[in-house]
Structure formats: structure tokens, C-alpha cells
């Protein structure tokens, strides 16, 4: 019984495992981040615009629209009606507007979580399960944030306009990611440092 925790601790503090994990984490993060930048660069008119990428590979706009639609639905549960003014803006029935830029979608956070999930040595099924679950959680708290902003705009909350909701969301999202990392490692201790399998 005493050997099991020692074995897990030795894997965590194993320099070769930690270095390999950090290199994989960095490589996956840079890959996902560059893919996001590439897609955004190809879907924005002007420059290197690609109609093919915009029509068939545009997951970024789909993600943004899904956040806005879900947030609008959640806000409607609290009596705030809104509709799309354009692809990036929700207009509240009372006249206020909420614009969502690319930076507000949460791609950096999602890239980090996906990189973390794929960098570890757990089996691929677990990686995919944890990756998708974490991405959903990040997406959902972003929907809640946008819904809260809609409620704040409609009710003209005085201190809400001075609050940096982007920074607040990042803090909440990274807190969620740290919690998910803790749960991930507590459930996958036996697979640490082993070769990934299906």
C-alpha cells in the first residue's frame, strides 16, 4: 500500500517525465494556437482571405455564434430578450448592444486545455474524453459570462461597466482549468508516465 503513493510521487517528480510533458504541452499549445490564428487570418476578408476556409473550416465563427446564441437563451430565462444585430453583436430589446470580438471566444484557454489533455500519457480515449469535457466547461462558462453581460446591460448595473469582464472571465476560466487538472490527475494517477494507448 505504501509503495503506490511513492510510485505516483516518483512519476510526478521524475525529471524525464516532467520535461517530456512540458515539451509536449508547449508543442500542442503552439500547434493549436497557430491553427486558430491561421483560421482567423483566412476567414477575415482582406489579406489572405480564403472563401473555402470561411465556408467549410470556419469553426471559430461557429464557436462564437454558439456562445452568443446560448447566452441569449440563458439571458432570456432572466427576462432579457435579445437578437442578432450582426454575426458578432447581440442587441437587447431595450437598445443596448453586446459585441463579441475574436479574443472573447476563449480560443487561448481552449488551446491550453486541449494541449494539457493531449500532452499527458494517459490512454487516448481518456485524453479525448477529458479534452472534450474541459472544452465544454470553458465554452459554458463563457456563455454564462455573456449572458450575465446582457443582464447587466439591460439593467444598467452601475459598477459593471468599469469591471474588466475579460480579465474576470480569464481568472474564472483558469481557476476552472486548475480544478479540472486536479481532478484529472487524481483520477489518472496510475497512468502517469506510461505510454499512451487506446
The domain tally of the chain equals: 1
Residues in the chain: 198
Q: Report if residue 161 sits inside a domain.
A: yes
pLDDT of amino acid 66? 97
What residues have CB less than 8 Å from 70, skipping those under 6 apart? 140, 143, 147
Q: Report if residue 196 sits inside a domain.
A: no
Neighbours of 69 (CB within 10 A): 14
pLDDT of amino acid 47? 75
* Domain coverage including residue 119: 3-191
pLDDT of amino acid 67? 97
Q: Report if residue 26 sits inside a domain.
A: yes
CA distance 14 to 193: 9
What residues have CB less than 8 Å from 149, skipping those under 6 apart? 71, 98, 160, 165
Give the predicted TM-score (pTM) of the model: 0.83
Query: What SS3 class is residue 164?
Result: coil
- Tell me which residue has cell 444598467: 156
Query: What SS3 class is residue 117?
Result: helix
Please list the rounded mean pLDDT of every run of 10 residues in the chain (198 residues): 57 74 95 95 87 92 96 95 91 88 92 94 90 96 93 81 75 90 83 56
Q: Report if residue 22 sits inside a domain.
A: yes
- Name the region of 31 (left: φ>0; alpha: ψ -120 to 50; beta: rest): alpha
Q: Report if residue 198 sits inside a domain.
A: no
CA distance 66 to 83: 13
Q: Report if residue 115 sits inside a domain.
A: yes
CA angle 123, 126, 127 (to 5 degrees): 85
Amino acid at each position: 500500500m505504501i509503495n503506490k503513493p511513492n510510485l505516483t510521487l516518483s512519476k510526478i517528480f521524475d525529471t524525464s517525465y516532467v520535461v517530456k510533458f512540458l515539451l509536449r504541452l508547449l508543442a500542442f499549445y503552439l500547434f493549436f494556437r497557430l491553427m486558430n490564428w491561421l483560421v482567423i487570418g483566412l476567414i477575415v476578408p482582406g489579406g489572405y482571405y480564403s472563401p473555402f476556409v470561411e465556408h467549410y473550416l470556419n469553426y471559430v465563427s461557429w464557436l462564437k455564434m454558439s456562445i452568443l446564441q446560448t447566452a441569449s437563451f440563458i439571458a432570456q430565462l432572466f427576462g432579457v430578450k435579445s437578437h442578432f444585430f450582426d454575426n458578432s453583436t447581440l442587441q437587447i430589446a431595450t437598445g443596448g448592444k453586446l459585441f463579441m470580438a475574436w479574443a472573447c471566444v476563449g480560443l487561448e484557454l481552449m488551446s491550453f486545455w486541449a494541449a494539457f489533455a493531449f500532452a499527458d500519457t494517459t490512454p487516448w480515449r481518456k485524453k479525448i474524453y477529458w479534452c472534450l469535457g474541459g472544452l465544454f466547461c470553458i465554452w459554458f462558462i463563457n456563455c454564462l459570462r455573456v449572458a450575465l453581460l446582457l443582464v447587466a446591460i439591460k439593467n444598467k448595473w452601475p459598477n459593471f461597466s468599469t469591471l474588466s469582464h475579460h480579465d474576470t472571465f480569464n481568472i474564472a476560466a483558469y481557476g476552472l482549468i486548475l480544478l479540472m487538472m486536479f481532478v484529472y490527475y487524481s483520477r489518472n494517477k496510475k497512468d502517469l508516465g506510461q505510454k499512451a494507448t487506446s
